[in-house]
Amino acid sequence: MTDPTDASGADGADGAFGAGGPARPGADDATGAPGAGGAARPGADGATGASGAPRLSARAAHLAYDRRTVSAGVDVDVRDGSFTVIVGPNACGKSTLLRAFARLLKPRSGAVLLDGQDLAGLAPKQAARRIGLLPQTSTAPDGITVAELVARGRYPHQGLFRQWTDADRAAVDDALAQTDLVDLADRDVDELSGGQRQRVWVATALAQQTEVLLLDEPTTYLDVAHQYDLLDLFARLHAGGTTVVAVLHDLAQAARYATDLVVMRDGDVVATGAPADVLTEELVERVFDLPCVVVPDPVTGTPLVVPRRR
């Protein structure tokens, strides 16, 4: 949050959406209960546009790698227009759930639904025009420029033999603009910093022009300022109408940016709901084995988990 441009951008989005939309029932009250509340919450206000129907859902989905079962039968809904953050201890199955949403992992049984339709029944390119993913690991070919890498996100919109259309060019330009990469478009990706490179991968996913954006630990390996730059970017995308689903490690960040939290442990969903309702001392201790106090974030009023001395 050190950068004035980004902060103002997020504020602008908040203003636009916060003013017009109705208040989120319960959320502010619950935040208010432990203390302050009422302060600006980046991203959270976008949820006011969310309707009730789930965009993505898992129905008794059995998720497993080879012989190792991660989730025996997970049920969860991602509301349309929400900024859903999946949290939980290591190896709780949160990335696995995200991979199932992204079609990288096919459920053994049960199903993953997009707008009520089985994802497995969609052609890969068809699905890729509706769901975008920022993968945890990806490789940029040697010598590729920013614009070229972003253009590869247009693949699901192209035919058997590559055809480059005006729509492709517009999508790439738009993705570069949204991620603040226009000036770096002709630079080599290998020459960029970690934060810039991660923005290039975000832009590549944006070029897909999907209604749903999945983020697998998007802030890992970035310094704290770049983490918030990126989260503000996601908040802006969310405010613009994209349904965002992210796996995050940092509970404070999750509480700040999420409209909906999904808390997982041992492959099961333990709790879902608004961060202020879900993130209690009792739940954090039960799920993360971490004795703590939950206080309101002095800046945003969202729940902030502070570990106790052990």
Partner 1 sequence: MSGAPGSATTTAAPARDAGATRARPGGRGGRHPRLRRRTALAVLCAVALVVAVVALGLGDYPLSPLEVLRALAGGDGFASTIVLQWRLPRVLAALVLGAALGVSGALFQSLTRNPLGSPDVIGFATGSYTGAIVVIVAGGTSWAATAGGALVGGIATALVVYLLAHRRGVAGLRLIVVGIAVTALLHSVNSWLLLRARTEVALTANFWGSGSLALVGWQQLVPALVALAVLAPLVAAVAPPLRQLELGDDAARAHGTRVEGARLAVVVVGVALTAVVTAVSGPIAFVALAAPQLARRVTRSAGVPLVASAVTAGVLLLVADVVAQRIGTSPVPVGLVTLVLGGGYLLTLLARETRRSR
Binding of partner 1 by 8 (CB under 8 A): no
168 Cβ contact list (under 8 Å, min separation 6): 151, 154, 157, 158
User: Judged by CB under 8 A, does residue 227 bind partner 1?
Assistant: no
Task: Please report, for residues 162, 201, 209, 218, 230, the alpha-carbon distance to residue 150 in angstroms, rounded to integers and kept in the order given.
Answer: 15, 7, 12, 17, 17
Structure tokens at 88: 């939980």
Taking the least distance from each CB to partner 1, the nearer of 5 and 51 is 5
Task: Choose the stretch contacting partner 1; rule: CB under 8 A; options: 157-165, 241-249, 253-261, 302-310.
Answer: 157-165
Assess 133 for contact with partner 1 (CB under 8 A).
Answer: yes
Minimum CB distance to partner 1, residue 162 (Å): 5
Long-range contacts of 28-32 (CB under 8 A, 24+ apart): 28/276, 30/274, 30/276, 30/277, 31/276, 31/296, 31/301, 31/302, 31/303, 32/301
The angle at the Cα of 131, spanning 167 to 109, to the nearest 5 degrees, equals: 150
Give me the DSSP letters along 242-277.
-EEEEE-S-HHHHHHH-SEEEEEETTEEEEEE-HHH
Which range, of 45-53, 131-139, 255-263, 271-279, touches partner 1 by CB under 8 A? 131-139
Q: Is 153 in the site for partner 1 (CB under 8 A)?
A: yes
Is there binding between residue 148 and partner 1 (CB under 8 A)? Answer: yes
Q: Which residue among 61, 85, 114, 127 contacts partner 1 (CB under 8 A)?
A: 127
Token pair for 152: 């590869």
Say whether residue 138 binds partner 1 (CB under 8 A).
Answer: yes
188 versus 277: smaller Cβ distance to partner 1:
188
Pick the stretch among 24-32, 153-161, 267-275, 301-309 that binds partner 1 (CB under 8 A): 153-161
- Out of 15, 20, 141, 240, which residue is the one contacting partner 1 (CB under 8 A)? 141
- Sorted by sequence, the CB contacts under 8 Å of residue 25 that are 6+ apart come out as none
Sign of CA dihedral 114, 97, 215, 129: negative
In angstroms, give the least distance from the CB of 226 to partner 1. 7
Evaluate whether 156 touches 116 at the Cβ level (below 8 Å): no
Among the listed residues 22, 25, 67, 162, the single contact to partner 1 using CB under 8 A:
162
Tell me how far apart the alpha carbons of residues 282 and 294 are, in angstroms, rounded to a whole number: 10
Region 59-98 residues binding partner 1, contact defined as CB under 8 A: 66
The contact mask relative to partner 1 for 175-214 (x = CB under 8 A, - = no) is: -----xx-xx-xxx--x-xxxx--x-x--xx--x------
Q: How many CB atoms lie within 10 A of CB 124?
A: 9
Residues that bind partner 1 (CB under 8 A): 2-3, 5-6, 66, 102-104, 123-129, 131-133, 135-145, 148-149, 152-153, 155-156, 158, 160-162, 180-181, 183-184, 186-188, 191, 193-196, 199, 201, 204-205, 208, 223, 225-226, 229
